Amino acid sequence: MNIKEYILNEIEVLTLNSSVKRAQKICKRLPITHIPIVENQKLIACISESDFQTIEDNKSSVSKYSYLFSNFFAYENATILEVMKLFANNQSNIMPVLNKEKNYIGYYELNDILDLFCSSPFMYNDGVVMIIEKAKKDFSMSEICQIVEHNQSKILGLYNSSEISNTIQATIKISSEDINEVIQTLRSYKYTIVSEHEDDIYLQDLRERSEYLQKYLNM
């Protein structure tokens, strides 16, 4: 997925000599969390909108507040998942972008990247989303793919969604006419099915047994 076409240049960047007042005006006009500071095409840092609002001397220059600078950016060849991680780690809705010469060429907006991700086949194709779990030492992506495909199903997406202690949880999106066959085969390979599914015959059987036992105890 090529995200370079989403690089923007609409926001006015700051220089070290820019006044705090100018920065505050930009922040007031636009719903952004950070503003890039650029000198001679080189990204110096970013400074947050919330920090600017706490500065009373708005006639002073940005350079005076270097202790408030944050250093984060994405390279233009970064993948969408890498960019999303950078957004999350830096709690920003603006991500400066550098080219291979490390020159500032623009920025990504968080909403654009999220919209792009939501338009991916993993998100919009019809399928069953399943969460499975297994010990790290026994967890195998290739095994999961083989199990799904062996049951005449297709994987639309698969990723590690959680790691807790020595256990890995994976989220899978599957295109299948009979998801129960996939579920039962995964169980036979010692994968725990974390998510619940209406077509899970094993769970249906457990519920029926539980209901029967409850009726028996109430007799």
Token pair 């400074």 in the structure block, residue:
47
**How many of the other CB atoms lie within 10 Å of CB of 43?**
21
Q: Is the pLDDT of residue 104 over 60?
A: yes
Residue 179's pLDDT band (cuts 50, 70, 90): confident
Contact 174, 182 (CB under 8 A): yes
Residue 199's pLDDT band (cuts 50, 70, 90): low
Cα–Cα dist 9/28, whole Å: 18
When the pLDDT of each residue in the chain is averaged and rounded to a whole number, the result is 88
Question: What pLDDT is attached to residue 196?
Answer: 81
Question: What pLDDT is attached to residue 180?
Answer: 87
Question: What pLDDT is attached to residue 197?
Answer: 78
Q: What number is the average pLDDT over the span 171-178? A: 88
In the chain, the DSSP E strands lie at: 34-39, 42-48, 74-75, 94-98, 104-109, 128-135, 154-164, 167-175, 192-193
Domains and CATH numbers, the chain: 4-117 (3.10.580.10), 125-202 (3.30.70.260)
Q: Is the pLDDT of residue 100 over 90?
A: yes
Question: What pLDDT is attached to residue 218?
Answer: 54
Q: Which amino acid is at 171?
A: T
pLDDT tens, residue by residue, 41-91: 999 999 999 998 888 898 999 999 999 999 999 999 999 999 999 999 999
Q: Exposed, middle or buried, 203 (CB in 10 Å: 0-12/13-18/19+)?
A: middle
pLDDT tens, residue by residue, 119-153: 887 787 888 899 999 999 999 999 999 999 999 99
- Looking at the DSSP bridge assignments, the partners of residue 15 are none
